[in-house]
Copies of this chain bind each other. A is one copy, B any other.
Amino acid sequence: MSTDEVPTPTKSQRTRAAILAAARDHFGRFGYDRTSIRAIAAEASIDPSMVIRYFTSKQALFAAAVDVDLMMPDLTTASASRRGRLLVEHFLSRWEGELSDDVLVILLRTAVTDELVAERLRTVFVGQVAEALRPLVDDDLRRRAGLIASQLMGIAMARYLLRLPGMVDRDVAGLVADVAPTIQRYLAGKLPAV
């Protein structure tokens, strides 16, 4: 209680939280452009002007709603040969459940049409993915991180955003088993010279 921050379930900044939740829901399901402040306000049972009052603009609301923490697991404690599988499991388990308000999915949906959001996603991958991989990898960090990101994002796109057949009709365990060797090779396998 002493070091914890804001133990107070304080007044009506529950509305602030309600706005954020509604925003994440709408942004996640429809993307930035097709989400209107009016719709967010309606879902939060509040007036549209309040949304602007709490956050200054739609863009600022989006920025506040999408605060990314990939919660990358500590892979150094796992045996080297199992790290690829662990990485795949981490992302898939994160996305299973209802993923509509997963911030990473929101970012993916928006980054393809918004250069500022793309820049943000780049920062996340460099700062969190590449950084988590650094202690495991001695050579070609950027190269390996890029390859891993491409395969993981491809799965997110194919299975969760586009719902491609052949990807949606799989159970998580099977998918992990299929993809883990790929990630393991990108992570620690021998890659072709230059």
Contact = CB atoms under 8 A, between A and B. Distances in A.
Contact of A30 (B113, B170, B182): B113
Interface string A126-156: 1000100000000000111111011111110
Given A170-B146, A182-B185, A185-B182, A162 B111 contact: yes
A83 B36 CA distance: 47
A182 B147 CA distance: 11
Interface string A167-194: 1011000100111011001100001101
B31 A112 contact: yes
Contacts of A158: 146, 149-150, 153
Contacts of A169: 142
A151 B151 contact: yes
Interface residues on A, range: 35 or more
B150 A167 contact: yes
Contacts of A157: 108, 112, 150, 153-154, 157
B151 A150 contact: yes
A21 interface: no
B163 A146 contact: no
A61 interface: no
Contact of A143 (B112, B125, B170): B170
